[in-house]
Structure 1
Amino acid sequence: MTRKLTHCLSLAAALAGCGSLPPSPPERPAERAAAPLSAKAQDVVLYAFSLIDTGYRFGGKNPEAGLDCSGMVSYIYGQAAGLKVSGSAADIARNGRPVPRQGLKPGDLVFFNTMNRSYSHVGIYIGDDRFVHAPATNGRIRIDSLGARYYAERFEAARSYFD
């Protein structure tokens, strides 16, 4: 009986090790030191999530008709934060406060050169190196990574409209 008990205890200890949680990933220094998000920035990110899979339309200014990248940003900032942000992606970039890439916070805007023209595409940064945008390719608002080769090679700048 002692042998069975020892075997059961050994098995239980081994299973307990398998069932334990993995260690937490180390915090990233930028995330640890980051200031809390403003309520408006949080609202912008949440609103952006709500538009995932909305159709793309060049020049589109509302979800019912479809949105292009600058129309998406204008619509979300207006609806979620009460901020008037309008014009082309380049116009939006000119009016925002420059932010270093490593200082990006959710709600900030990211700009790309996608048409051999500076600031030809814009998206909303949502954290974890990802952004929401309305690309003409695939015709739907979606989430992509700043680290994806296509976007990493075309990244130009980041801007903030929040304090």
Structure 2
Amino acid sequence: MLKKLTALLAGLVLLLTFQAGSVFADSKMDGIIDELIGTPYQSGGTSTRGFDCSGFTTYVFDKMGVDLSRTSGSQAKMGKKIAKSDLSAGDLVFFNTNGKSISHVGIYVGDGKFAHSSSSKGVTISKLSESYYETRYVTARRVMDTTTFEKYADEAE
């Protein structure tokens, strides 16, 4: 009986820990992105009716008071270059999906994942380690200053 009660309590603690971690530690940026998950892909789209990849990043960063250029190629020239091993939530991640140059952008959200507008899934979260993205990864840029990061992307509120 004691073992069952201990196991039940341990399970409950784990459940509450994960619930608290996913609900209470979310940043304001996560909240903005969460509201957009499932928005359909639309070539040239810049609104909640539909986004292309850079329209999505421009929209999210506009909500945080950060102006971005309109295309993934021009966004890849903004801010400061960041090593893949130094990614923080809010960094832009760039990919070569057309075999020529940077053609896709997303927002790193932590834990090896990024939010983006996929032509097949719309706004979604993907893993950088997925073979499709891992082989097409080009670079990352940090476009938020420290104040903006602390206000929108830092989970410590």
Which TM class, normalised by the smaller chain length? 0.7 to 0.9
**After superposition, what is the alpha-carbon deviation per residue over 1:1-59, rounded to whole angstroms, capped at 9, x for unaligned?**
xxxxxxxxxxx2332453352798xxxxxxxxxxxxxxxxx433321121000011111
CA distance in structure 1 between the aligned counterparts of 2:9 and 2:134, rounded to whole angstroms: 37
AA aligned opposite 1:43: K
Looking at CA atoms only, which structure, 1 or 2, has the larger radius of gyration? 1
CA displacement at 1:75 relative to structure 2: 1.0
2:113 partner amino acid = R
Residue of structure 1 equivalent to 2:61: 77
Aligned partner of 2:81 in structure 1 is 98
Q: Secondary structure at the match of 1:21?
A: helix
TM, length-normalised to structure 2:
0.76
Query: Equivalent residue for 1:27?
Result: none
Name the % identity. 33
State the superposition RMSD in angstroms.
Answer: 1.9
Q: 1:118: how far off?
A: 2.3
Match of 1:18? 7
CA distance in 1, matches of 2:82, 2:46: 26
Provide the secondary structure at the position in 1 that maps to 2:135: helix
| Bigger relative CO (Cα 8 Å, ≥ 6 apart) | 2
How far apart in 2 are the matches of 1:96 and 1:118?
19
Aligned ranges 1:1-163 → 2 under 5 Å: 12-21=1-10, 42-64=27-49, 66-78=50-62, 80-138=63-121, 140-162=122-144, 163=146
Count, aligned residues: 132
